[in-house]
Amino acid sequence: MVVTTSSRSGAHVTLAFTVHSDSDDPLEQGSYGVGLCLEAGLSTSCRSDPSASMGVTVIINGDPSNEELQREVLLECIKFDQNLSTMHHTFDVQSQLPFSQGFGLSAAGALSAARCLLAMSSLPVKEQDSAAWMIAHLVERKLSGGLGDITALHAGGIARRTNPGSPYRIYDENFLAGPGKSESWESPIPVLAVWRKTKSRHTSEYIDSEEWSSKIRYAGVQSMESLGKGEWNQSRWSEIIYESDNFAETSGLLDDADRRELLNEVKWALRSFEPRLSVLLCMLGESVVVVPRNIEDEDWLEYAEILIHRLTDLGCLSTRIGRIS
């Protein structure tokens, strides 16, 4: 019998982070950092047919794809239920934001794919969600994707990652929390995501580079000296904006891949809103998020999106900070 399952995950934008990828155990690899979980993201539906030959088909926004992510997720899920290997799985992914532009969509895609597959598996229902988070983190690290997107999405809202690694691990056949830890606070802050329409460099080009990794680690430690301490709540919003700008400058990422030009182009287009808005780089894409300096400032979003469309050739999407998971 053909079974169809579906799942959705919001995007995540990292604003400042450190690199912790030295461990041989991928469940311990990750990052400290701060970021924004968004309402906008992607949805995945999976049609699993036991009568068809074993395999995987991936369709992204209506187009066939050679994306390896869903195949790797399937291989991890098979470890929990061998029957998954006897079916043909067709993944239909619909994304509101572009891939490889700093919106954490590989994490969102891995998580939603794992949830789809595990929902039809023999794994007990109470263990499926923990397994999905763990599998998504493992696949992210296997493909040299984001270091901390999964741990951040596990918290939701405005997330602070306080310990690197996966949100879950297995010990004595039981799922346990950690080693990755995150905390968050929630506010429906309007966000305008803006990006170049050309594809950005893959995360691995930075994380796997000793030079870039060292620069990012140094800048991240500097920012997290401030952001990593104290209560995590709405009182930290202006500090998040300030330290995000510092991280982009200190790490050298602002002057790589013409990101400063992108930042200035968006600021120019939205100059009529100065000084109400801040434009923050999304790590590690060629993209930015526009946010209000005052979290209660709501009446700018629609007009700002119109200005970006009229005055630039950039892509953009209006959204909000997502809810706490």
Q: Does residue 9 belong to any structural domain of this protein?
A: yes
Q: Which amino acid is at 173?
A: E
Strand partners, 58: 65, 91
Domain boundary among 161, 185, 209: 185
Buried residues in 157-176 as b, exposed as e (16+ CB within 10 A): bbbbbbebbbbbbeeeeebe
Q: pLDDT band for position 257 (50/70/90)?
A: confident
Q: Tell me if 253 is assigned to some domain.
A: yes
* Average pLDDT of the chain, as a whole number: 94
- The answer to whether residue 149 is domain-embedded is yes
Q: How far apart are the first and last CA of the chain?
A: 33
Is position 19 within any domain?
yes
Statement to judge: residues 31 and 158 lie in one domain: yes
In a domain, 256, yes or no: yes
* 78, 175: one domain: yes
Do 141 and 21 share a structural domain? yes
**pLDDT score, position 71:** 97
d(CA 10, CA 112): 10
Task: Tell me, yes or no, whether 209 and 153 share the same domain.
Answer: no
Cβ atoms of 228 and 162 within 8 Å: the answer is: yes
Residue 12 corresponds to which tokens in the numbers above?
A: 């995540």
| % pLDDT > 70, the chain | 98
Q: Which domain holds residue 237?
A: 190-320
**311 in the same domain as 274:** yes
What H or E segment, with its residue span, contains residue 136?
helix 125-142
- Phi (first) and psi of residue 272, to 5 degrees: -70, -15
pLDDT above 90 (res 42): yes
Does 181 lie in the same domain as 61?
yes
**Residue 325, in any domain of the structure:** no
- Cα 92 from chain centre: 19
CATH (domain of 105): 3.30.230.10
* 21 and 96 share one domain: yes
At which of 185, 215, 235 does a domain end? Answer: 185
SS3 29: coil
pLDDT category at 147 given cuts 50, 70, 90 is: confident
Q: Looking at the structure, do residues 85 and 160 belong to the same domain, yes or no?
A: yes
Q: Are residues 26 and 155 in the same domain?
A: yes
For residue 55, give Cα distances in angstroms to 48, 71, 84, 219, 288.
10, 9, 10, 43, 37
Same domain, yes or no, for 173 and 205? no
Q: What is the mean pLDDT of residues 126-138?
A: 97
Closest CA to 117 of 97, 142, 87: 87
Nearest CA-CA partner of 147 in 208, 57, 69: 208
CA distance 32 to 44: 28
Contact (Cβ atoms closer than 8 angstroms) between residue 290 and residue 192: yes
Report if pTM > 0.85.
yes
The number of domains in the chain is: 2
Q: Residue 196: which CATH number?
A: 3.30.70
Residue (of 289, 323, 283) closest to 304 by Cα position: 289
Contact 187, 123 (CB under 8 A): no
Return the pLDDT at 201.
Answer: 67
**pLDDT, tens only, 270-302:** 999 989 999 999 998 899 999 999 999 999 999
Mean pLDDT over 69-92 rounds to 96
CB 271: neighbour CB atoms within 10 A?
11
Smallest CA-to-CA distance from 100 within 258, 287, 320, 253 is with 287
The Cα–Cα gap between 159 and 46 comes to 29
Average pLDDT over every residue of 138-143: 95
- On whether both 312 and 231 belong to a single domain, the answer is yes
Strands 181-185 and 158-163: antiparallel
Q: Which of 99, 47, 35, 60 is nearest to 243 (CA)?
A: 35
Tell how strand 190-195 and strand 277-281 pair up: unpaired
Q: Residue 247 falls within a domain, yes or no?
A: yes
